[in-house]
Chain A
Amino acid sequence: MGATRIPASLTQASQARGGVGESTPRPDGTLKVTGDFAYASDLWHEDMLWGHTLRSPHAYAEIRSVDLSQALRVPGVYAVLTHADLPAATHYGLEIADQPVLARDVVRCHGEPVAVVAADHPETARRAAARIVVDYRELTPITDEASALAPDAPVLHPGRTDAHAAHVPHPNVVHRQPITRGDVAAARVRADIVVSGDYEIGMQDQAFLGPESGLAVPAADGGVDLYVATQWLHSDLRQLAPVLGLPEDKVRMTLSGVGGAFGGREDLSMQAHACLLALHTGKPVKMVYNRFESFFGHVHRHPARLHYEHGASRDGVIQYLTCRIVLDGGAYASASPAVVGNAASLGAGPYAIDNVDIEALALYTNNPPCGAMRGFGAVQACFAYESQMDKLAAALGLHPVELRRRNALSQGAAMPTGQVVDSPAPVAELLRRVRAMPMPPERQWVTADEAGETIDVRALPGGRAGTTHGEGVVRGVGYAVGVKNVGFSEGFDDYSTARVRLQVVAGEPVAAVHTAMAEVGQGGVTVHAQIARTELGVAEVTIHPADTRIGSAGSTSASRQTYVTGGAIRHACELVRERVFDLGRARFGSHHPAWATAELLLEGGKVVTDGGEALADLADVLGDEVIDVEREWRHRPTEALDPHTGQGFGHVQYSFAAHRAVVEVDTELGLVKVVELACAQDVGKALNPLSVTGQIQGGSTQGLGLALLEEIVVADGKVRNPSFTDYLIPTIVDTPSIPVDVLELADPHAPYGLRGVGEAPTLSATPAIVAAIRAATGLPLRRVPVRPEHLTGT
């Protein structure tokens, strides 16, 4: 094996000033490598108690009685609370408040919280919870579309009053979105080739490494301070305050360190429970889920069944698409309506298809609740439409990339919703780029020298487990491309709030940025500082911790934070800058005519003209003044989709990525090694190239997990593998080299031309890998994750 080398991209230490476009280091990086960064699970308070949750062992059951007497007798127990103890609102939810804080007379899913305990030690709390006696009467769970819509199916949420209730075909359908455009019936007649297929996606988990946790501290004013790992403080607050029966200003939330999110922290988990226990006991209460509980503590990616039919003319032009996408939302709505909207509106993929008939819906069942996970709705659809593209290419005798190129979406084309794509959509170019990357060498497990061949099993499918020395191993190559919306869609008022303060500290101008953006690892705090440096020409930027003392920043999801909160910071900085110039004109305007006539800029701590002439030091202009601006900022509005036709300007921006996967399959054992997973993505403008690359590689790896490993196995509504022993995410030996080609075609509507990055790479990684396995094996492979059984016919 060769000697180690310095990666070329890391040898050029940046000496520049840390503005937009540079790979500046993370402001929280040093704390994270020294172990000093305070994650929610690290918090501690004098006199604090430990909270613990008792959860339902059943998928669907009536609660006949709950007996707390034995639990309350355990020494060291301070409180045991059930539904009966709730002081105010009893339900919450992201969009539809259908989720009980604690179950009352029915549990609708395995793991639903029934009671919470506060005690002086986690073990005391566990022992007390084990002594709570709940008398359940088990009911037959609804587990799929057939049982949800059967004539005698129980209605899981009777008396619905939510906005979707009026449009759904059955009360066990959370939301249904059809999209019709063109004339499918006429196009069908023109189609020379028709391919159809049924596809299935397993239930994926976010599997963030830092389990749900937080610390609730009761306050003297009767309110509560909550330190928590979340994706959206203000959404939590909006749901939490009514449950506590407190006005929002008495529920003060501060973001603590977040160990990853990926959608799994968009819903409440322990927030209400910890606050209720803290308010009840008058003591600080810490709750930390363990990994087992974490699998029940958050929603998962919707499992899906999809039926697709494409018709094409012999020249490889797609004439029509029909599809039906059924998502299992599980017991509670969570983000299901938005997932349905994405699946429908992005269901055709990044292709220009004039005639479409799409239907997407999400069910209420007694399976685990499903909601937001990276790329939601679009991930499920992408596996199906990309599988179809390969099938269609094969039927037409075209290379898979060539078929995609002939139908690729481009700027000016219309989506199935009728929305015209009004910024670059380089679908064909991304595919061209991944195809043009050099291929990894063949048979990398063999080293030959005079003494013969040496095999390194670590480079083979099965790795160290030594299942092959090359026997049965076949290489395959596959391609895929996907489209994801950026930002909140369908008319949602998607805004962020930023406060920027500029003042002189110890002789130097310093900018302070305060938002409620949840830093979950993505590097938002890095980019925020870069934006402030670029806009204000200062070196020093302080990022204030995120809390609810400022207005909402919206969610750290939908690839939206750099766009929306970044946009808000830039906007606030522009206003600060104008105030600086006003101040300068007042103080120094008489010294130089350029103050009145020139275009002014802030650069290098000075006010300069666009001609580069320095007019004054920023510190001198500011003097003792503190310029402080807080503003909300919105991207251009979107529209709701028509409930019958699905037409409308639904999305503010689209994001595209393409993958080429190279795999080696042990065709006899059905084991797969991904050799390389190359990605090309258009990011509009890379505000921090190192972070962008990290997002693309991380997103691609989660797609790899869905392709090969990751599934929450549910039988009769019960989760069978809630542990890291049996829910397997990729390790470093399962993850290949991921070369990334970043394209920067500016979106004229977005700040700096940027395009949201985080989700698109999660879409196409999965179908690219499965396409590569199909190429190696010739098998149809309609379901992910692909298991050895699928590859061996067992």
Chain B
Amino acid sequence: MRVNLTVNGRPQTADDVWEGESLLYVLRERLGLPGSKNACEQGECGSCTVRLDGVPVCACLVAAGQAHEREVLTVEGLADHARQRAADRPATHDTPAPPPDTPEPAPGTDLAAARSWQASPADPANSELAPIQQAFLDAGAVQCGFCTPGLLVAADELLERTSEPSDEDIREALAGNLCRCTGYEAIMDAVRLAAARASQGG
């Protein structure tokens, strides 16, 4: 079947989708957006967390057909989303349509890109990142990084609705996102840091 959806503000079409496929598979294998991770495929780890019409969900539990004509935000669109939010505009409306000749993205990561994964040195003043992404880097909240995309989407959504979350609030909001490397302390620090920077107008 064909699935039309908007991902990170861009209209996308996936063809020949098997009816049992998940939104996660479509994003990763058909639309060239492998940022959302496939760690459990049963809604028990949160690594595939995306926002579906603004709501955080596990993309592995959304049937591809259910995302038809819906809006999806993934980690790849998080920085744009944060910029738009900062500009105090509705995140999902003013997005300009991409030029009609935009090339089809390759599904997945090609090997040339895979070989050069260290290319980008960390830049503390990297304005291309959403505040929550920068905070994860600064706080040491990233180790293997497999949980990171889902955590970022969930944490960003928390801070969007709760500007000064308590520690218990942070823990509750991130209770659906497993991390096996950090012991969560640095993740707590990262969310506290992003919240504090936002409240200080930084």
Contacts and interface: CB of A to CB of B under 8 A. Distances in A.
Interface of A: 1-7, 9-10, 13, 23-39, 41-45, 121, 123, 206-211, 215, 217, 227, 254, 256-262, 288, 290-291, 456, 458-459, 464, 520-523, 525, 542-545, 690-691, 693-694, 697-702, 723-725, 729, 731-733, 735, 737-738
Interface in B94-152: 106-111, 113-118, 120-124, 126, 128-129, 133-134, 136-140, 142-149, 152
Given A121-B18, A545-B116, A35 B74 contact: yes
A42 B38 CA distance: 9
Contacts of A206: 180
A7 B167 CA distance: 12
Contact of B192 (A4, A262, A737, A738): A4
Nearest to B197: A6
A43 B114 CA distance: 7
Given A34-B75, A35-B33, A123-B18, A29 B142 contact: yes
Contact of B40 (A121, A261, A525, A724): A724
A175 B35 CA distance: 44
A224 B39 CA distance: 27
Contacts of B121: 27, 30
B111 A6 contact: no
Interface in B137-173: 137-140, 142-149, 152, 164-172
B199 A4 contact: yes
11 contacts: A7-B189, A13-B124, A30-B122, A33-B137, A35-B76, A44-B34, A211-B38, A290-B38, A521-B181, A732-B188, A737-B185
B115 A254 contact: yes
B50 to A, nearest CB: 11
A290 B145 contact: no
In this complex, the interface size class of chain B, counting residues with CB under 8 Å from chain A, is 35 or more
B144 A520 contact: yes
B139 A10 contact: yes
Contacts of A26: 122, 137, 142
A257 B117 contact: yes
B44 to A, nearest CB: 4
A291 B182 contact: no
Contacts of B76: 34-36
B39 A291 contact: yes
B40 to A, nearest CB: 4
Contacts of A44: 29, 34, 106-110
Given A10-B189, A260-B181, A30 B172 contact: no
A10 B183 CA distance: 18
Main secondary structure of the interface of B (DSSP, over half): loop
Given A38-B113, A545-B117, A258 B144 contact: yes
A542 B78 CA distance: 27
B75 A27 contact: no
A748 to B, nearest CB: 29
Given A31-B117, A45-B111, A209 B122 contact: no
A733 B175 CA distance: 6
A259 B37 contact: yes
A735 B184 contact: yes
Given A35-B35, A732-B184, A723 B192 contact: no
Closest 3 CB pairs of A and B: A35-B35, A44-B108, A521-B144
Contacts of B41: 290-291
A79 to B, nearest CB: 21
Interface of B: 18, 20, 28-29, 33-42, 44-45, 47, 74-76, 78-79, 106-111, 113-118, 120-124, 126, 128-129, 133-134, 136-140, 142-149, 152, 164-172, 174-189, 192-193, 195-197, 199
B45 A209 contact: yes
Contact of B35 (A2, A34, A207): A34
Contacts of B115: 254, 545
Given A34-B129, A698-B181, 15 more contacts: A29-B145, A33-B136, A34-B76, A38-B117, A41-B38, A44-B34, A207-B180, A259-B144, A261-B144, A291-B42, A520-B144, A690-B140, A693-B185, A729-B178, A732-B174
Nearest to A705: B180
A549 B13 CA distance: 40
Contacts of A2: 166
Contacts of A699: 183
A3 B147 contact: no
A372 to B, nearest CB: 16
B171 A732 contact: yes
Q: For A207, A700, A723, A735, which residue has the most chain B Cβ atoms within 10 angstroms?
A: A735
A698 B183 contact: yes
A624 to B, nearest CB: 24
B93 to A, nearest CB: 23
B117 A697 contact: no
Given A32-B148, A724-B44, A691 B172 contact: no
Q: For A44, A254, A257, A258, which residue has the most chain B Cβ atoms within 10 angstroms?
A: A44
B120 A30 contact: yes
Contact of A458 (B122, B147, B164, B172): B172
Contacts of A735: 183-185
B17 to A, nearest CB: 11
Given A1-B167, A32-B148, A697-B186, A7 B118 contact: no
Contact of A724 (B42, B106, B128, B170): B42
Contacts of A33: 75, 129, 133-134, 136-137, 142, 145, 148-149, 152
A464 B169 CA distance: 12
Contacts of B108: 42-44
Nearest to A701: B183
Contacts of A291: 39-42, 44
A5 B164 CA distance: 9
Nearest to B135: A10
A649 to B, nearest CB: 33
B37 to A, nearest CB: 7
Contacts of B39: 209-211, 259, 291
B194 to A, nearest CB: 9
Nearest to B134: A33
Nearest to A697: B183
B37 A39 contact: yes
Nearest to B110: A44
Q: For A209, A256, A290, A522, which residue has the most chain B Cβ atoms within 10 angstroms?
A: A209
A732 B38 contact: no
Q: For B29, B128, B134, B152, which residue has the most chain A Cβ atoms within 10 angstroms?
A: B29
A733 B173 CA distance: 10
Contacts of A701: 182-184
A698 B34 CA distance: 26
Given A7-B189, A30-B120, A43-B114, A208 B180 contact: yes
Nearest to A262: B180
Contacts of A697: 182-186
A215 B29 CA distance: 14
A259 to B, nearest CB: 3
A35 B121 CA distance: 15
A2 B192 CA distance: 12
A725 B143 CA distance: 24
Nearest to A546: B118
Contacts of A702: 180
